[in-house]
Homo-oligomer: A and B are copies of this chain.
Amino acid sequence: MIVRPRPRLIELFFIVKGSIVLRIMPLLVFLAVLSAGIVSIYTFRPDWLPRFDGGPFALLGITLSIFLAFRNNACYERWWEARKIWGEFMLTARNLGRLSQILDKHAEGVSPDRRQLLELNIAYAHALLLQLRPGNQLPKIKSLLPESLVHTFIHSTNPPEVILRTMERILIDALRAGQIQPIQFNLLEELIQKLAQAQAACERIQNTPIPFGYTLLLHRTAYTFCFLMPFCFANTLGWATPFVTALAAYTLFGLDALGNELEEPFAPIANALPINALTDIIEIELREALGDEVLLALPLPKEFVLM
């Protein structure tokens, strides 16, 4: 996620980070050159190319805009839903950190069960992160899991579920030992289910892109539209054509490229969600709930980007 103050007018045109302008620059240059070529022909060899009226073409442009807006909207909603899921996830971790005080027998000390439960929750957060944005999470997870679980974790088809299953077992044992009452077991169980829900919802977003047919259709139409633009507008815009074509292409492809980025809110890209940072915050807050010394620093953006 890009975190920076709103740019002033003059800065606006020189920001590159978070902009998609670099990615689509070759295309814009190509279109500008193409436009210039066509205008040259119209100007110096007017009979080499027929002239077209842009009217019917404008209709295609409006249609394209409407559908681009539709796709963009769908992508944005995926992205925002993903953020909501992680907000719920953090909330659940906090709730567990707070409610699990019920496992502590004495008002002061943290019971071993509670400690294990919350450390497993930290491990679960890292395991979910590992699934969504694979990185160097494994050593951390291993250090948090009981020895006997590590092997199962690594060989499971669904590693985070292994952690939840262990958390469940701790609760069931506490229930049977009479540490918690049956009705309080339900409260804690609901939190476990919410942890599982975060994973299921993230998987849904990660594994189910916008239907490929849309992407294909919109890309094809957008590219064809931009290649045709100079032919239709050179007639009326003259030497302004390269500039206007590049501007229109920048808007269309820019929105398209942004849609692509938002479609994958967990990918390791600048406009994605800062789930590494959120995982760290979960760890910090649960450590604080346990009264441990917190060794992790609060995550900060690097060069305006928080991952």
Chain A residues near B (Cβ < 8 Å): 1-4, 6-7, 9, 12-13, 15, 18-20, 27, 50, 52-67, 69-70, 72-74, 76, 79-80, 83-84, 87-88, 90-91, 94-95, 97-99, 101-102, 107, 156-158, 161, 164-165, 168-169, 172-173, 181-187, 189, 192-193, 196-197, 200-201, 203-204, 208, 211-217, 219-221, 223-224, 228-229, 231-233, 236-240, 244, 247-248, 250-252, 254-255, 258, 260-262, 271, 273, 281, 284-285, 288-289, 294, 298
Across the interface, name the chain B residue whose C-beta is closest to A181.
B182
Within 8 Å by CB of A53, from B203, B237, B248, B294, lies B237
Q: A183 to B231, alpha carbons, bound, how many Å?
A: 73
Q: Which 3 A-B pairs have the closest CB atoms?
A: A2-B212, A53-B236, A91-B200
Q: A181 to B172, alpha carbons, bound, how many Å?
A: 12
Across the interface, name the chain B residue whose C-beta is closest to A192.
B98
Given contacts A50-B239, A53-B236, 15 further A-B contacts (CB under 8 A): A18-B211, A19-B216, A19-B217, A56-B244, A61-B63, A70-B76, A74-B80, A87-B203, A95-B196, A98-B168, A98-B192, A187-B189, A213-B254, A217-B258, A221-B251
